[in-house]
């Protein structure tokens, strides 16, 4: 009779993948491929999501679509970077 219990494995394959420096590159390439597929799928659902207007936000002189929010944020961010130079 063997009373010794087997120790748990020293490594987990997912943890090893996350700790590997190459996983960042693999994740970046995977996300790029997914975004290219979605943007080039030709579906109107993709472009309509970016141009969907929220009338509650438009009444307060705020951007009314996600595309305008991102555009305004990037313009403000680039202005801050230029001011720091």
Is the per-residue pLDDT at 58 higher than 70? no
Instruction: Tell me what the mean pLDDT of segment 44-72 comes to.
Output: 74
DSSP 3-state of 68:
helix
Rounded-to-integer distance, Cα 15 and Cα 19, Å: 6
pLDDT in tens, 38-55: 888 877 777 777 777 776
């Amino acid at each position: 009779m063997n009373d010794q219990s087997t120790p748990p494995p020293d490594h987990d394959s997912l943890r090893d993948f996350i700790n590997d420096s190459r996983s960042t590159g693999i994740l970046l390439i995977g996300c790029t491929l997914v975004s290219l597929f979605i943007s080039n799928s030709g579906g109107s659902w993709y472009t309509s999501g970016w141009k969907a207007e929220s009338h509650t936000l438009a009444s307060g002189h705020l951007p009314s679509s996600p595309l305008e929010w991102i555009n305004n944020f990037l313009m403000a961010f680039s202005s801050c970077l230029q001011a720091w130079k």
